Amino acid sequence: MIAADPTDSLPDPPMTLVDRFFADRARGLSPVGLGCMSFGGMYGPTDEATSRATLARAVDIGVRFWDTANIYGEGVSEEFIGRFLADHPGSRERVILATKFAITKSADGKRVVDNSASHMREALTASLQRLRTDHVDLYYVHRYDPAVPIEETIAALAEEVKAGRIGAIGLSEVSPDTLRRAVSVHPIAAVQSEYSLWTRTPEFGLIDACAELGALFVAFSPLGRGFFGGLLDDPRTLEPSDFRRANPRFEGVNWQRNRAHLRSYLDLAAAWGVSPAALAVAWTLAKGRHIVPIPGTRTAAHLEDDAHAAAIELTAERLAELERLLPPGFAAGDRYSPSQWLHVERYG
């Protein structure tokens, strides 16, 4: 008689966030996510009805990787998402919900970064209340605080994973070395960084490190903060509160030089019969199966356009043509102003 294998009666291990993403993709759900910074007014005033229609459409078409943060509008983005989920029963289970902590304000009102365990727990509790949920699927360290060893921060986050308040741990704007240090303590499900045709720094090791270590690489601003959509003629017309008003790439001579490159890009997209926005997102998808672009938008029409990127097949020849037109380093101006570089790790 053959003895029964005692493992036969054990339940299957729970699906990790990374496994869930790839399983969703295999089921035909969109590999394109949604960046939710704009819902906090970071790109000008928002309209509640229009924004709600955008989230409803995201649920309908399978755009389920939603990425927000506690500082987007000082909690406004989280509150808006929380209201939407509460008003649409069953939608929470259809969403991979991510938020972040670390950037906060000091007593004198200045932006600072705090990776301490006590601040993390306080910030998490507040985010869960605003999101009206008992857990988030992914919780990011928004910026790395050199005053707190990353190992200590990850160990504290691992306790929240065990407690069930977060499903997985993520990092944002870190170097490959910091990622490796973090993984030595606990698995990291995702690393977020700006990545687009005009921001190529993650190619200096971070994208490859994510693939090696089993983490998703979450590409924010794949449209270059709207640049590759081709709809902005003059940044001076932007709302005073718009994040781009202080961004070097949208200022003066830098803007004029970047706009000159954009004309050729728009012509290429038209020749290929695709929208410029979808083409920019499709380029990020073509750079790695583990890459999750999260373009931000406040309208359902733009959301559908961005999501259409998954249907665009870029051959090796077309990728090469696109990258000859817009080679690494073509963009004039830095991707952040000096104040916006707060604790972003530089590498490469």
Query: Each residue of 99-124: b (16+ CB within 10 Å) or e?
Result: bbbbbbeeeeeeeebbbeeebbbebb
327: left (phi over 0), alpha (psi -120 to 50) or beta: beta
Our CA angle for 114, 115, 119, nearest 5°, is 70
Instruction: Tell which residue, 44, 116, 114, has the closest CA to residue 73.
Output: 44
Asked if 210 and 217 touch (Cβ cutoff 8 Å), the reply is: yes
Query: Terminal CA-to-CA distance of the chain, rounded, Å?
Result: 61
Residue 60 contacts by C-beta under 8 Å, 6 or more apart in sequence?
none
Among 179, 160, 168, residue whose Cα is nearest residue 118: 160
Please state the φ and ψ torsions of residue 170, each to the nearest 5 degrees: -130, 165
Neighbour-count burial for 9-31, b at 16+ CB within 10 Å, e otherwise: eeeeeeeebbebbeebeeeebbb
Which residue pairs, CB below 8 angstroms and at least 24 apart, start in 73-79?
73/39, 73/40, 73/41, 73/42, 74/40, 75/40, 75/126, 75/130, 76/39, 76/40, 76/41, 77/36, 77/37, 77/39, 77/40, 78/127, 78/130, 78/131, 79/130
| Parallel/antiparallel/unpaired status of strands 111-113 and 103-105 | antiparallel
Catalytic residue IDs: 72
DSSP notation for 236-299: GGS-TT-GGGG-GGGSHHHHHHHHHHHHHHHHHHHHHTS-HHHHHHHHHHHT-TTEEEE-B-SS
